[in-house]
Copies of this chain bind each other. A is one copy, B any other.
Amino acid sequence: MIVDSYEINEEDIFTWVKSNGARKVLIQAPDGLKKIALAVSELLEERDVRAFISASHAWGGCDVAYDEARSIGVDAIIHIGHHGPVWFKPPGKPRVLFLPAFSTLNPTRLVAQAAREAKDAGASSLAIVTTIQHAKWLPALKEAVASEGLEPITGSLSGVEGLIVGCNYASIRQADDVVVVAGGLFHALGAAIWSERPTWSADPYQEKVSRVELRNVVARRLYAISKAIDARSFLIVVSSKPGQNRVSLATRVKRTLEERGRRVLIAVFNEVTRELLENIQGFEAFVNTACPRLALDDEGVFPGPVLNPGELKYVLSGSVEGYSPRDALVFDLRLLDGP
């Protein structure tokens, strides 16, 4: 079945529903793919399976609607548009089918263009990564890069070659430059922050190639960290989403900051919004243990300077010396053992 420019494997759905004996299913999709969720709900209802739509955002494979499913007594979830669970081990129930939505838009020409630009800039190898939507094009993309005279480099994430998600770019292997196939600049920015290499965005929706600029992000991060160094009180943000829930890390951060004389409180959110944060008055800075992209891409949500856990070491040392943009995407607890 094709919905807009996405291909969905109907047989995968029917096989999974049948083999799980599911009579009631909750269907989830990110905001941009809600139309696919509606189409899947119609497919299921035609086959006498009761379908419910989750209206919530579904930001990633970290954000599976277990709570909603349980609240309506459904033990089968179809989660569209993400490749699998991110940062958590799925419980046995409710069961989840992660259903990819593959883009039919061919990004080969764009990646070839990015390869030429990278070559002109002096690169001889190019790491290729994509979101799950574009992952099927990877063999063609490697060929296109090789045709332009660069060595195509790929790694894997969760067994999918070239796959990236918003908080994990570990599939980017050592290469001169990086090309990211995804809509918008969100993933290209993440790849540039992680790899610290020259990074090209190839956007199949806008049919546009552009080089990502990190300067603004780095300036904003350094400004936030510098302000947080002087803060006397911190609110630590914890998410209740299954793959964003880092309450142990938050507790550890709280203790560490308290030992340094800071006043600290942990607050629990489902969705982190400015409105909710503003209701909790009296904190000068924030530590975000939920989605790391909040601090990078939605910094304005926070009413004061916000740090990701990997950036906390600068507050503890009182200096931004040795700063690396990648710290924003790191959850390594050992960072807290710093000076």
Contact = CB atoms under 8 A, between A and B. Distances in A.
Interface in A31-73: 31, 34-35, 38, 41, 50-57, 65, 67-68, 71-73
Report the copy number of this chain in the oligomer. 2
B265 A53 contact: yes
A309 B269 CA distance: 30
Q: Interface majority SS on A: helix, strand, loop or mixed?
A: mixed
A38 B282 CA distance: 9
Contacts of A72: 238, 240, 245, 247, 268
A330 interface: no
Interface string A257-299: 0000000011111111000110111100000000000000000
Given A280-B38, A281-B35, A268 B238 contact: no
A26 interface: yes
B38 A277 contact: no
Interface residues of A, number: 42
A50 B266 CA distance: 10
Most buried by B among A71, A251, A269, A276: A71
Interface of A: 26, 31, 34-35, 38, 41, 50-57, 65, 67-68, 71-73, 237-238, 240-242, 245, 247, 251, 265-272, 276-277, 279-282
Given A55-B280, A71-B241, 7 more contacts: A34-B281, A38-B282, A55-B272, A55-B277, A67-B240, A68-B268, A68-B270
